């Protein structure tokens, strides 16, 4: 069986066991002697699915994930939705209720809703990590990946001033090869001219595969977005026929809040390997049906 075929098998398939064992062995061999790492099969399978069961690439991804969590505590150790509820309540972020035609999760970020006087770039980025931690628990998302729409209407100099080279590198690292999610597409809409210098700072850190999946749609984006997304899943604000953007933002905010305990446990855990059985939060199971 090749990688994509393996990806279709359920987590408890015996055919996956050699890959899980190989990844666990590699991770433990690479571990710091002072660390006491243990990994559940469910956790390891996220990284294997994200790299179509190439154990070597999955090991690199896993080690990168563990490294950025350790090296960026200002981002990784606070995954509390209630701590950024004011920003979430501005309709800044949504995960659309329906997947696209390929099965990918579709995320929307509305940068203009971010008041840079009230919220730091670190706090804004944490929202992405919270969502990523939740949806990476969904087997269908592990298989089909994510597509992201960044609405840059309202992007201003105050936003740009918050994105320095160090943060750009961290964002790029997590986007590209340090989180167990396949990034299937990045779509920018309403991007102003003075966004381009910031993008130029981020771009060098992105692998070629990600660069090829970035699409800039400008202000006249509704027709070109429809080339990538079915209208029935997109909000009307983006040329679609789905629920209003405010409604889907509020729905996702509510789902994040319901996952507060789970996210806090992930943030405080040495590896982030919190299975649903470890948590009194059943959100992951509910989402896995989506």
Could you write out the three-class secondary structure of 139-188? HHHHHHCEEEEEECCCCCHHHHHHCCHHHHHHHHHHHHHCCCCCEEEEEE
Per-residue pLDDT band at 56 (split at 50, 70, 90): very high
* Interval 68-104: pLDDT, tens: 888 888 888 899 999 999 999 999 999 999 999 999 9
- Nearby residues of 21 by Cβ (< 8 Å), 6 or more positions away: none
Per-residue pLDDT band at 277 (split at 50, 70, 90): low
Percentage, residues of the chain above pLDDT 70: 94
Q: Which two tokens stand for residue 227?
A: 């080339």
Per-residue pLDDT band at 127 (split at 50, 70, 90): very high
- Sign of the torsion angle spanned by Cα atoms 91, 95, 99, 100: positive
Per-residue pLDDT band at 245 (split at 50, 70, 90): very high
Kindly state the average pLDDT of the residues 223-227: 89
* Interval 280-290: pLDDT, tens: 444 444 444 44
User: Does position 202 have pLDDT exceeding 80, yes or no?
Assistant: no
Q: Which of 212-226, 235-249, 276-290 has the lowest mean pLDDT?
A: 276-290
**Given this model, what pLDDT does residue 142 score?**
95
**Which position has the token pair 């981002």?**
75
**Given this model, what pLDDT does residue 281 score?**
41
* Interval 136-194: pLDDT, tens: 999 999 999 999 999 999 887 788 777 777 777 777 777 678 899 999 999 999 988 77
User: Does position 58 have pLDDT exceeding 90, yes or no?
Assistant: yes
**Given this model, what pLDDT does residue 35 score?**
76
Percentage, residues of the chain above pLDDT 90: 63
**Given this model, what pLDDT does residue 288 score?**
44
CB 175 within 8 A of CB 183: yes
DSSP state of 226: T
Kindly state the average pLDDT of the residues 219-232: 90
**Given this model, what pLDDT does residue 276 score?**
55
Domain layout of the chain by residue ranges: 1-71, 81-258
- For residue 54, the tally of other CB atoms under 10 A from its CB is 14
CATH number at 81-258:
3.40.525.10
**Given this model, what pLDDT does residue 283 score?**
44
CB 214 within 8 A of CB 196: no
User: Does position 203 have pLDDT exceeding 90, yes or no?
Assistant: no
Q: Given this structure, which CATH class describes domain 1-71?
A: mainly alpha
DSSP state of 37: -
CB 100 within 8 A of CB 106: yes
CB 121 within 8 A of CB 157: no
**Given this model, what pLDDT does residue 175 score?**
67
- Nearby residues of 131 by Cβ (< 8 Å), 6 or more positions away: 93, 95, 107, 252, 256
**Given this model, what pLDDT does residue 166 score?**
75
User: Does position 2 have pLDDT exceeding 70, yes or no?
Assistant: yes
């Amino acid at each position: 069986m090749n990688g994509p075929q393996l990806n279709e098998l359920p987590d408890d398939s015996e055919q996956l066991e050699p890959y899980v064992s190989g990844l666990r062995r590699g991770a433990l061999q690479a571990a710091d002697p002072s660390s006491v790492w243990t990994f559940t099969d469910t956790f390891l399978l996220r990284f294997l699915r994200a790299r179509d069961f190439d154990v070597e690439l999955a090991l690199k991804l896993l080690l990168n994930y563990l490294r950025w969590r350790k090296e960026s505590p200002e981002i990784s150790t606070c995954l509390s939705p209630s701590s950024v509820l004011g920003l979430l309540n501005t309709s800044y972020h949504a995960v659309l209720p329906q997947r696209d035609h390929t099965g990918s999760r579709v995320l929307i970020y509305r940068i203009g809703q971010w008041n840079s006087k009230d919220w730091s770039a670190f706090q804004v980025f944490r929202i992405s990590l919270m969502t990523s931690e939740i949806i990476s628990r969904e087997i269908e998302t592990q298989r089909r990946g994510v597509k992201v729409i960044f609405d840059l209407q309202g992007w201003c100099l105050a936003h740009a001033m918050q994105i320095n080279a160090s943060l750009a590198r961290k964002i790029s690292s997590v986007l590209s090869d340090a989180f167990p999610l396949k990034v299937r597409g990045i779509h920018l809409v309403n991007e102003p001219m003075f966004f381009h210098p910031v993008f130029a700072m981020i771009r060098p850190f992105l692998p070629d595969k990600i660069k090829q999946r970035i699409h800039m749609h400008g202000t006249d984006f509704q027709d070109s977005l429809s080339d990538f997304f079915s209208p029935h899943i997109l909000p009307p604000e983006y040329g679609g026929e789905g629920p209003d953007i405010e409604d889907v933002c509020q729905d996702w905010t509510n789902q994040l809040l319901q996952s507060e305990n789970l996210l806090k446990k992930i943030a405080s855990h040495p590896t982030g390997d919190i299975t649903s059985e470890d948590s009194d939060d059943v959100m992951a199971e509910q989402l896995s049906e989506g």
